Structure 1
Amino acid sequence: MSNVRGHISEIHILRAIACLLVLFVHVSATFYYQQGQQFNDLTFFINQISRFGTPMFALISGFLLFYQARFKRFDFSRFVSSRFTKIGLPFLFWSIFYLLFMFVAEGVNPLEVGEKQFLVNFTFGNSFYHLYFMSIVFQFYLLFPLLQLVRSKKSWAVLLGISILINVYSLKVFSPGEVGGLLGDILGQRAFLPNWIYFFIFGGFLAYYWEPLSSFAKRYKGLLGVAVILITLAAVWEYKVMGSIASNRVTNIINIPIITLFIIGVGSNITRLKWTNMFMSKIGALSMAIYLAHPFVLYCFQEVAPQYIWKTSLFPVIYLIILLGTILMVKAIQLLPWNQYILTVPKIKTQQRIQQSKYSMNS
């Protein structure tokens, strides 16, 4: 599956699964509000187990950057231009879009909190509930020019250990409330990079150890599958004891690598069937676009759907409506001029194109 450098099918599968999980979180959260602000056993299970999706997105963002850095000379100006186009401009567009939309639809004035607080909220992706992740990625891009200088595998093992310490300290020890003022508010943001740094660094670690780790994943996918089942059971115990838990919780430092390796291990099984391969490729390619647009579709559906439709038994139907509705919205936006500044949709080589490329190099 991964014979062509730069084209790794397993990563597109990870993208697709991460996207679908994030959608599960937000659809189940909508059921919470539509069912009297309470979860039942099924919707709470879906909401909590699906929270593996966001750290997987972070891992993928790190992996793609560092995997390219292994084989290509770093061009700072090209990097800045590319990231600003693919992440910066879509972040600006959707932040402004959702602020204007909520002002029109709900009368929410984001400037009521004051100019300084507004700038903090905007910068850290608080314009709408899902945009914090875009802010995290953008912060990571500020750090990447320095990190891409780390090229040896041993250095990456050390860096991974350091990132664990930073992440745990930020989540469990550091108290931003003790700082106070605007700085304390910045340090306490959900999108503050140290709260997520481990997942990006693990993405880089995976990029530099890709060959042995992917080989390990495929060889021991059965054992990894058992581990994923145990992780799921442990996660159920965790949220039942502690209540709702965050996507970047400390236990995910262990959970996410195991889940990721399992998905890599079964990647060939997923793509063996034509329809699953096509589905995962399409969702993987549109994953970031779906991430940006789906809250708007979900909000509009929530406003027009009758109350009686919010039955737990209809969860799969509503989930499918939101997914398909978002894809249609994305496809419509792609018809607009300059749509590449609104949505990030990577080009994915098909197997036929890969074979043609290999043939042309060999001829």
Structure 2
Amino acid sequence: MIREIFWLRSIACLCVVLIHSASIMINKMYIETDASLEKGIWTSLLLLLMFATPLFVFISEFLIAYSRSVKSPKTFLWKRMKYILFPFIAMAVFYALLSSVTGKHALSEFGQHLWENLILGKFHGYFILIIFQFYLLHVLFQRYGQKWSWKWVLAASLLINAAYLGYFSFVRTFDDPYSEYQVWWLPFLGWIFYFSSGYYCGRYFDQVKGFLISYRRWIWAGTAFLACAMLFLHHSGVITIMSSKRIDVLLYAIGMIFSLFAVAVQIKSVPRLLVTISQYSFSIYLLHIFFLMCVSKAFSLLFPALHQPVLLLAALFVGGVCLSWGGAYLLRKLPLSEYLIGKLGKDLPKEENPAVNKKAPQGREFATGEQV
């Protein structure tokens, strides 16, 4: 079991909830044309969190490549269909129904919303459609890519990813509402550098771990520079879209992934809270938008005239995380719940984590070679 992944997965989960919480807060507290310093600070925070979805792509491929478990492509894909694709379908139906009930035309629009969710990924579950493309790509990597040079693959995937995002950021315009998701958002080419980075980091984790420890200060400095460059491009109006599909997010996200990894490899324990969030991360991801809507509505009813962005953001974030975890905990008591909200993630063995097992030797090195 790789201890560092619990840090990365829990941080990614919390950042996704924080992104959507901040987006709701900004939309409620500020008008679209507001150019105040206060709004600029919040949008900067939002932009700095855009590494979260790329981090999930990286983690997903990292774990598969590390375990080298794809001996039977049919078994590999079927297992992920049951516990990832089936929950995606369940949530696509749920959020389509929710959109219909809260919309102007009630259930008459359910079919349209369901089509958009299932096929176009026009809800936050779009990430699962991207991940499944990479599951198929991983099978091909395992079969044909073993002899490829990792340097050439990483260089090629970076160029393809950058060219793809650059084209749709600066050249291509969309004539209909579906093109954005069909051509720009969902295809794996817009995320392929995160996939290839996760693949080779998983295959050569021991070497990568040594690299992260040796060059951690350079990695942190480089990431800080990329963050500043990204904020400059945004506030100067060069790239104004607020999305993880910005071309300048590409290198920044990789920098953040390696920066967090460089911190995690030096920490000898994982707090029990983060282990729990990591275990429930997929369920929290699926459910949190619903609970954010509930918290937002409740806040508006209780404090209709209150303009406190920090208070609203805190309520949304804490409420989104806690209610999603609580909802997932209760739903897991139902039969077949793993097909609705996914399986519970693996726990960190107590003997490998002093934060969980107080009797474990504190100076002991942790094993990282166990199958994931």
Q: Output the CA distance in 2 between the equivalents of 1:74 and 1:310.
A: 56
Q: Percent identity?
A: 24
Residue 137 of structure 1 deviates from its aligned partner by 1.0
Match of 1:221 among 211, 216, 227: 216
Q: Output the CA distance in 2 between the equivalents of 1:11 and 1:119.
A: 34
Q: Please identify, of 31-40 and 102-111, the stretch whose mean Cα deviation from structure 2 is larger.
A: 102-111
Question: Aligned with 1:149: secondary structure?
Answer: helix
Contact 1:89 1:342 in 2 (8 A): yes
What is residue 194 of structure 1 aligned with on the other side? Answer: 189
Q: Output the CA distance in 2 between the equivalents of 1:133 and 1:110.
A: 26
Is it true that 1:124 corresponds to 2:150 in the alignment?
no
Map of 1:326-341 to 2, 5 A cutoff? Answer: 326-341=324-339
Q: Deviations over 1:272-313 (max 9, x none)?
A: 4xxx62222122222121111100000111112133455123
Distance 1:173 1:232, change over 3 A: closer
Q: Deviations over 1:293-339 (max 9, x none)?
A: 10000011111213345512313344222211221111111121111
Residue 29 of structure 1 deviates from its aligned partner by 0.7
Residue 97 of structure 1 deviates from its aligned partner by 0.5
What is residue 296 of structure 1 aligned with on the other side? Answer: 290
Contact 2:19 2:49 in 1 (8 A): yes
Q: Output the CA distance in 2 between the equivalents of 1:183 and 1:98.
A: 18
Structure 2: which 5+ residue stretches go unaligned?
354-359, 361-366
Q: What amino acid is aligned across from residue 68 of structure 1 in structure 2?
A: S
Question: Aligned with 1:279: secondary structure?
Answer: helix
Q: Deviations over 1:54-75 (max 9, x none)?
A: 1111111111122222xx4511
Q: What amino acid is aligned across from residue 303 of structure 1 in structure 2?
A: K
Distance 1:307 1:231, change over 3 A: farther
Distance 1:156 1:309, change over 3 A: farther
Q: Output the CA distance in 1 between the equivalents of 2:105 and 2:213.
A: 50
Residue 187 of structure 1 deviates from its aligned partner by 4.1
Distance 1:258 1:332, change over 3 A: same
Contact 2:65 2:199 in 1 (8 A): yes
Contact 2:121 2:181 in 1 (8 A): no
Contact 1:43 1:312 in 2 (8 A): no
Distance 1:110 1:235, change over 3 A: farther
TM-score (norm 1): 0.83
Structure 1: which 5+ residue stretches go unaligned?
1-6
What is residue 4 of structure 2 aligned with on the other side? Answer: 10
What is residue 165 of structure 1 aligned with on the other side? Answer: 159
Q: Output the CA distance in 1 between the equivalents of 2:264 and 2:188.
A: 30
Distance 1:291 1:311, change over 3 A: same
Is it true that 1:307 corresponds to 2:304 in the alignment?
yes
What is residue 262 of structure 1 aligned with on the other side? Answer: 259
Greater per-residue helix proportion: 1
Residue 16 of structure 1 deviates from its aligned partner by 1.1
Question: Aligned with 1:51: secondary structure?
Answer: coil
What is residue 88 of structure 2 aligned with on the other side? Answer: 91
Contact 2:16 2:52 in 1 (8 A): yes
Is it true that 1:246 corresponds to 2:240 in the alignment?
no
Q: Output the CA distance in 1 between the equivalents of 2:10 and 2:201.
A: 18
Aligned residues: 342
Q: Output the CA distance in 1 between the equivalents of 2:108 and 2:189.
A: 28
Contact 2:92 2:118 in 1 (8 A): yes
Q: Output the CA distance in 1 between the equivalents of 2:319 and 2:178.
A: 42
Contact 2:292 2:316 in 1 (8 A): no
Q: Deviations over 1:147-175 (max 9, x none)?
A: 22245475333222222232223222367
What is residue 155 of structure 1 aligned with on the other side? Answer: 149
Q: What amino acid is aligned across from residue 239 of structure 1 in structure 2?
A: H
Residue 36 of structure 1 deviates from its aligned partner by 3.8
Contact 2:201 2:208 in 1 (8 A): yes
Q: Please identify, of 240-249 and 196-205, the stretch whose mean Cα deviation from structure 2 is larger.
A: 240-249
Contact 1:64 1:207 in 2 (8 A): yes
Question: Aligned with 1:81: secondary structure?
Answer: helix
Q: Output the CA distance in 1 between the equivalents of 2:337 and 2:223.
A: 38
Q: Output the CA distance in 1 between the equivalents of 2:108 and 2:133.
A: 24
TM-score (norm 2): 0.81
Contact 2:120 2:178 in 1 (8 A): no
Residue 22 of structure 1 deviates from its aligned partner by 1.1
Contact 2:292 2:319 in 1 (8 A): no
